[in-house]
Each structure stands twice: as C-alpha cells, then as structure tokens.
Structure 1
C-alpha cells in the first residue's frame, strides 16, 4: 500500500517555510515512484542530478531512512505553490496513488507600521497599523492596555480600511502606548500578534510651571536666565533684548536642550540689566515670556574658620554680612591639599544653617580652604585662605590587640610542645 507522511489530505504551511512530504510503501515490489504537481506536471528534478546552485525550490530526493519511496521537498514556499500534489507508484504490480492539497498562508507582519506616530492636537488624526497576512486578519486596538471601543465619539475605524484608527478631537491625554492586535483565523490555524505604537501629540509650546520671571546680578557677576517650554515638535528658543536677537559673545552664552534654553550672562556693564524676552516657537504656535534682570547687591565676603579637626573631616564655622533685602542663602567651600593648585580643588555647597562639615579627607594631611557666600544675585569673592591639618590615626588600640593575639599564640605554642614531649 502506498502512503504519504505527514498523513492527511491537506497540508498547511506559511509562505517562506520549507518542508517535505514522504511517499513510500512497505510492499515487496515498489516501482516508478513519482510526484506530479497541480498542473499535472511531473516533478523530476533530483537533488544530485543538477549542480547545487541550480536545485529548484521544489524537487524530489531519495526516500529517507532506507524506505522504498521518494520525498517531495519544498524550499521557500510561495503562494504560487498551492494546489494538489500526487504521488503514484506501481506497488506489487498494482498502480496506486495518493494526493494531498497544499495550502500556503501568509504570516502576520507589521513591517510597514511606524513604531512612533504623531497625532495633531485639536483635530482628528489617524494611527496606522499596516498589517499583512492571508487569511486577512481582524484588527483590534488597545490604549494603555485597555480595549478601544467604537461606541463613543472618540474613536472610529478609518474609512480607508480597518487597519487605521481615527482619534477625534485630539488632546495631550491621547499620547501614550497603543497596541495594534491582529487576529488571523482559518480552518487550519490561528495566530495573534501585537505591535506596540508609541503615539505623541503635536502641540504648540506650553510653559512649564514654577519659572522665575525675575533675576538679580551685579556688574562683574554671572547669572543664568532659564526658559522652559514643553512642545512637540521641540520648540526653537530665541532670546531678545530691546528688539534685538541675542547671539553668543564673550559675555553671553546660550545653552539649548530639548525643552529648555539657558541664557548665561557675565554682566560687564549696567546696560545689561533690563527685560529679556524668551521666545519658544514650533510650527503650531509661539509663546513669549519676559524675564527681568535687576541690579542686586553682591554678597559680602564671608569669614571662615575651622572649629574642629578630626581624622577624616574638618568642621567649619561660616558667616557673612546680610543685606536685609538679599540675605545669604548658601555658602560654597573650596578645599585642596596644601601645595596643590586651586584649579584641582574640590567644592561643596552648604545651605545656610546646615552643619558645615567636609568629610572624606585623608588623615594627618594639611588642607587649605576658602569660602564664598551666595544670595539671589550670585556669589561673593572668596574669603581669606584657611589652613588646617587633619588628625593622625592613633595606633594604641591596634598594638594592644596585636599584643593580645601574640600572648594567645604563645600559650597555644607551649601547649603543643607539652603534648609532643609527653
């Protein structure tokens, strides 16, 4: 009897797959085993009968495991390979045949779907999910893990196909993670795949909260004016003073980030005080904000002294004259080992009223330190330098421990000798 393996009248595979079907018989005499394709054509190309690089995708090979038969081999299957395939042979003098139908389905694929997509604020916009598959899949949508229903006015199926999701009256709350779920179902198999889509909303710039609209400095002082605006696409920032666009110079630096711009000024003359306009702009709109730079009082030079030196730390006392309208809010302390250059110094910032302690120092080492005071207008000049040496580690307790260990070892050695000479 002639049989094919895998058994069954139908074989289902996916496009691009490779597989083979074996046709064989356990009869005594098996002759003229051959395969024919959907158009009745004989498949006669044997592996080994043609050069390796010329072997057809569909060919036959000698039966495996020594059985009497022929294998039909498919490589990189295409949709054109669908149809009926028949194996025929003379089995003990009787002509027999077995046929199976080959189905070729197309796997789900999201290869043309952008992973990041954009909606437009205030209008209806579409999210694309370009999914391929055969049988054609059914599409479901989720937003932040919740299924999207079409029972309200917020969402709708795109008129050009179910693979598009229309979001009406877009707001910033519509930004987030969407999942396009494709469900493929046939009598032969089922498949489910999800594709995550990060959705951002294009919107005009919006000021971030808690931004200062007033700043202080003094001639020879430095000050940073900061402007922060969230926007999609990111905003372009422009700084303006008295109608003129500000550009970098020896006294002006501009540092831009995704949602922030910092105008760093070194105040070289009184004319630099006044109104500074920050403009944040993208294709959807423009915002402007005025930051007023006023003349302030430079902090007084503080006094600094070491109140206590420890093995790895120095305790400080810091003080500076207060201007009632601009009180001292912090101190900056620089410190270094004696003999080092100040450009290699370390620095610590202390809020006024905290404990002023420098930790992590080396023992028995001479340090030099200096301090400056800070108010809303900036930092003062540095104080006079203060020198102090950290304490040396005491080894008395260490020697005591070593002596105790040595005594114990001597006693143990005496006991061992006593045992040996018994």
Structure 2
C-alpha cells in the first residue's frame, strides 16, 4: 500500500499532459535592417532569442566574446533587454572602423546565427563643381578625390562620352589617383568633364563636374556651314554679291580670350587702310564674329577683303574674294500643303531655279547662274482692314536638301492664327524679289479635339452597328 499513493499521483500527472501539446522550440536570429555600414557611424544590431535556456552571447569576427559595457570597454559592447516574448541583446558599436567588418556571431547554447557586416568609407567629394582654364599647347590635370573603401570604380566622361586613355594615350592619361591629364590643349578640349564614382558594395554614387576652358589663338570658320578653315597658311573664301544690293560678309572666329577684328580692302596683294566706319564694320559684343557690310554701288566694290582676328595668343586672317553674282528669280508657286496648331507646311515650286545635283557643291561655279540653296519665308499675322506689316516680321530660312523635296514646314507658330505669307529664293549672292503667297492659318486645339472625338465616335459606332 505504501507505493500505491505515489503511483496514483504519477499516473495522474502523466494523464494530465495532453498528447498533442509540444514544448516550444528555442529560436535565435539577428535582427539587422542593413549589413552595410559607413566608417564613423554608431550602430545597434539586435539579436533576439525565444525559449532559450542559455544566455545570448555575441562574438566578434576574431572569435572573441563581446562583453558588457565597462570603463575599459566603451566602444564595442553588448546590453541585455527582456521582452514579454523573449530576450533582446543588442551589439553596440560606436565610431565604426574598417576593421569592424567581417562575420559577427550571435550564440546561445546550440543556437547560433552569423552575419557578415560590411564596413566601408563612402567617397566624399567636397567641391563637386569646378571651373578650370588651361592654355593652348600645354597640359592640364583634372583631379577626382575618390578616396574611400572599398576602392571605388571611377570613370571620366567628356560631354557624355567616356574617356578611354588607352585608346588615345597621346591625348589622355588617367593616373592611379584618378587624376585625368589632358595633353597639348587646343580648342577642341573645351567642354564639360565629369568624374563618375561608384562603390557598388555600399550602394553609393557621386560625381564631380569640371568646366574646362582653354586659352587659344583665334580659329576661323564658316558661320553658314560651321566648317573650320583647315588651311593654315592661306585661308580664302569665294563670295558673290549682286550689283546694287547690300552684301554682308561675315568673319567668324572661336577664340579665348575674345579676339579683336580688323578689315582691309586689298589692291594688288597689299592692304589699304583699315576699314573703321561703324556702319560698315559691325562686330558682335561677345567677339564671335565681325560683319563687313558692303553696299555694292558699282564694280569697284568687288575684289579682295582681308579680315584678321587677333588676341594675345595669336592672330589669324582670311581673304574674301567678292565676285559679281546673279540675282535669283522668285519661286513660281507656293501652296499650303498642311496645317496644325503650331506648324504650316508649304509646297514650293521654282522652274527657273538652278538646283545642285547631289555631287555638286552648294555654290555653282558659274556666277551668272548660281545654285539656289534655299528659301526665306516671312509670316505676319493678318489684321482685318490693315495691310501686311512686314517690318520686324520673323523670317524662316530653309535649306534645299534635294530638288525633289519641295515641302517645307515652318514653326512654331501661334495657334488659330491667320498669316500673310511671302517667299523668296536665295543663292550665294543674295535673295530674289518677294513672291506674295496669300494667307495661311494654323488650327485651333478645340478643332483638333473635336475631330479626334468625331473619329472615335464613328469608330465605336462601326464596331457596334457595322458599316453605315
């Protein structure tokens, strides 16, 4: 009987445990929102445990146990917090160092989890927008202070095109410290340089922009074609002018600092006195060009004219041969071919025009029958009861790319507006008389919208009811 009472109690205890009841499993996990940290930051990385028997411990990448905070241990330490559903043990790291990167382990008994923490130093470029000036023939160095860890990838661009120094080593050198050296500077090196810096591991990107200008002597070019005169010794250009008309001869230069211009009439290969009349020589304020206004009153105005452009880096000259030229005839017809809210398209025919074939230069070598190179349109709004006001009306210059292409679109224009229209042809010598082309009107947004709605309505009706 002595053993009966304990046996009954044991049997009752065993029977009181439900067969489907299971004791909860212990869990342990590191709660890190990010595993990438920057040098100098302070971070708290939590390790959470539930149903644990043994305490949570943190271990450094070297395998050393991280202890709680003390006077000797104030930068890297652990704290302990208790919650209703478990235990939180944060790993606190003050002033994170590169050496703190690596595998950190949270452990409690047989439970453990390890995460790799990446510690880097983001590139910080303090002066990200720089203006720099070099000198023709010399070298210049563009710095990019891309100091960081892990080592960043640095790529240089000029005007959005990547610079590859190995493809052009005589011009560019990219040094180990990411400095870009540009050698033998010239006007073509002027532009926008961007140093793009990326640290993929840190998801970090930054850049530096350098606005480079170059001091160089004047470089003469044709303002119509934008072509630079490549002949270094003798620069000449043929110009045609119409007797009785005014001819503007333009001398254009790229230069830094801006150049001063001088014009000379030449006789027998020698310069006459400089032309200084302010009504005859008009130079732009920014020094990009100077225009010689020739009023061809008689044949004595034909001949050679020299333009010189000079700055403290050097001087360049070009001789313009001003020759008699033929005045073109106006177009035969001009018809409106299309209109919308902002543009007008015209069909222009000119049976008397001499159009260049694809293998010819734009200017015909025959001064009596110069090639027609384009048209000039002029448009002015219609005012009922008033004649067309052409003074100050905008001009639209269009080029003829092919004799078969007779359609020309003008814009942008005001919508829902009626315009007076006139047109004239142009060649290398000058322009024809104006041809009055009548009136043309742009459309209104409401008209275009109504037409679109009408088209949609008709389409839907056809789908629902079939063709009418």
- The TM-score with structure 1 as length reference comes to 0.48
Structure with bigger strand share is: 1
- The TM-score with structure 2 as length reference comes to 0.45
